Structure 1
Amino acid sequence: MVLKELQSLTGHTGRVWNCSWNPKGSLLATSGEDTHIRLWGKEGDQWVTKTILSEGHTRTVRNVAWSACGNYIAAASFDGTVSIWDRKNGQFECNATLEGHENEVKAAAWAKSGNFLATCSRDKSVWVWDVDQDEDEYMCASVLQAHTQDVKRVKWHPLEDTLASCSYDNRLKLFKEDDDDWVCVSTLSSHDSSVWSFAFNNDGSRIASCSEDETIKIWQEFKPGNEQGIKTPGKDSAWKCVCTLSGYFSRPIYDIDWCAQSGFIVAAGGDNSIQVFKESDTSQDINAPEFEKVLTQSEAHSEDVNCVSWNPTERGLLASCSDDGDVKLWTLTDC
């Protein structure tokens, strides 16, 4: 198995923090220190800049997220705001700016249903916004103060309106709506240091998380009445750390993504490498699954790798971005 570099995309100045594919896999959004969002599309055999969204923010754009319909982008910025872009008129335009966080906004994420947007911040909070896309209205539904430190990422369950977050407090948390309020239903504790990122598998029954502690952890959901006899808190699921991958990275692991098509997990971080893992063919026990590394791309970038993202439709196509200012496209062969 080989990870082959297809193209290096240049254009950003300064570090590039985030890369995110639209749902069709036809556009890649990137953002970084230069305050710009670049949208890349394919022309012939090459990926080129299609659009530069440059007027939404005054500081670093830390994260960009696509809505499930592909017509909206939310951008989280160190200027403390989240910009909302839509292309109702054919081109992406900023139609709303969400304010309320008291410090740098680190990430945003749309629920697959389209009904909610989540944001998180250095101010230790997670906000859930009610979305009315017809009226371009975004109302704060809840401010969640469950974490005790900087919240790094928020992501939604792939099939339902369950929200997850991770933080400098070494924990992941899951939230659900309960009687018009949002409540924490699970706290996932096993990492020894900051949890930088995480990813759900294709059906949301597992989470892979990565940390400053240089480990990857696999979490398994156990629903009420599960065959394994794992106790659950009432009507909500229990989550259990069932596997820890350690010794593969020599620096903190900054990002992780779980491919819905192939089941491969990709992770990257401060040692400049990109590494790919998969569940072993011999893995059978849901309580103790076995995962193995299938490849290491050493010096994938010349500095920290901040984000890795599998294309949602083209099997094996991967995007990465780095402090070195480059965005790279890769293809994983024999996957």
Structure 2
Amino acid sequence: MPRLELVATLEGHQDRVWQAAWHPTKTLLATCSGDKTVRLWAPLSLTDPSHWQCVETLEGAHKRTIRSVAWSKKGSELATASFDATTGIWEHDTRENDWECVATLEGHENEIKSVSWSATGSLLATCSRDKSVWIWEVEQDNDFECLSVLQEHTQDVKMVVWHPKLEILASASYDDTIKIWKEDEDDWYCSDTLTGHQST
């Protein structure tokens, strides 16, 4: 079995780091933190993974901790979920070589814990301390429409994750269950509830 070893420690955030997400096609890592920023990291050399640098700091879009970060399928967009109950959508402006928050999704009543893009990139899911899961449709010109608000969990929803190929969503909650969500004729429903865990 291959032995894992620590090759680098990335420092720069001013508060706890909540999540890290690899870009789908590039050697680029996004991290989010209680300092209300997202940092993008890249190695100085692709042949030497021991030296990394922060190539971009994304800030100003959120007022509280950024809890979750997720790349779109092609890596052209980055979604950030925050304890301020909003989700930010970031795009890279190639002309300015800068990242810009192009949309802010609102609706959750409390802290957003997780954000996830579907395999096709046409759907976005968010979940919150308000016990709900929201499914958003990606439209043109950075518009997002809420298709459904799913409210079958009885406690905070901690995580949402899409199937890697199908438009099937799983949500994990403090109510000790995992729910599987599917769509039927534009109606999202819980197709199964997985039980067995004795705690969160």
TM-score clears 0.5: yes
C-alpha distance in structure 2 between counterparts of 1:95 and 1:156, whole Å: 23
Question: For residues 1-335 of structure 1, what are the structure 2 equivalents within 5 Å?
Answer: 1-44=2-45, 45=48, 46-89=51-94, 90-132=97-139, 134-194=140-200
- Secondary structure of 2:6's aligned partner: strand
C-alpha distance in structure 2 between counterparts of 1:92 and 1:153, whole Å: 26
CA contact (8 A) 1:67 1:73 kept: yes
C-alpha distance in structure 2 between counterparts of 1:88 and 1:115, whole Å: 21
Deviation of 1:14 after TM superposition, in Å, equals 1.5
% same residue: 50
- Secondary structure of 1:49's aligned partner: strand
- Secondary structure of 1:135's aligned partner: helix
C-alpha distance in structure 1 between counterparts of 2:133 and 2:118, whole Å: 14
C-alpha distance in structure 1 between counterparts of 2:67 and 2:195, whole Å: 25
Which consecutive aligned stretches of 4+ in structure 1 deviate over 3 angstroms post-superposition?
Answer: none
Deviation of 1:151 after TM superposition, in Å, equals 0.3
1:214-256 deviations in Å (ceiling 9; x for gaps): xxxxxxxxxxxxxxxxxxxxxxxxxxxxxxxxxxxxxxxxxxx
Please, which runs of 5 or more residues in structure 2 have no aligned partner?
none
Deviation of 1:114 after TM superposition, in Å, equals 1.2
- Higher RCO (CA-CA < 8 Å; seq separation 6+): 1
Deviation of 1:25 after TM superposition, in Å, equals 4.3
CA contact (8 A) 1:78 1:105 kept: yes
- Code of the residue aligned with 1:91 in structure 2: it is D
1:24-51 deviations in Å (ceiling 9; x for gaps): 1411000111000000012123211010
Please, which runs of 5 or more residues in structure 1 have no aligned partner?
195-335
CA contact (8 A) 1:61 1:76 kept: yes
**Matched residue, 1:245:** none
C-alpha distance in structure 2 between counterparts of 1:34 and 1:80, whole Å: 16
CA contact (8 A) 1:149 1:168 kept: yes
TM-score (norm: length of structure 1): 0.57
- Work out the number of aligned pairs and report it: 193
- Secondary structure of 1:4's aligned partner: coil
CA contact (8 A) 2:182 2:190 kept: yes
- Secondary structure of 1:87's aligned partner: strand
Alpha-carbon RMSD across the aligned residues, in angstroms, is: 1.0
CA contact (8 A) 1:71 1:88 kept: no
CA contact (8 A) 2:25 2:74 kept: no
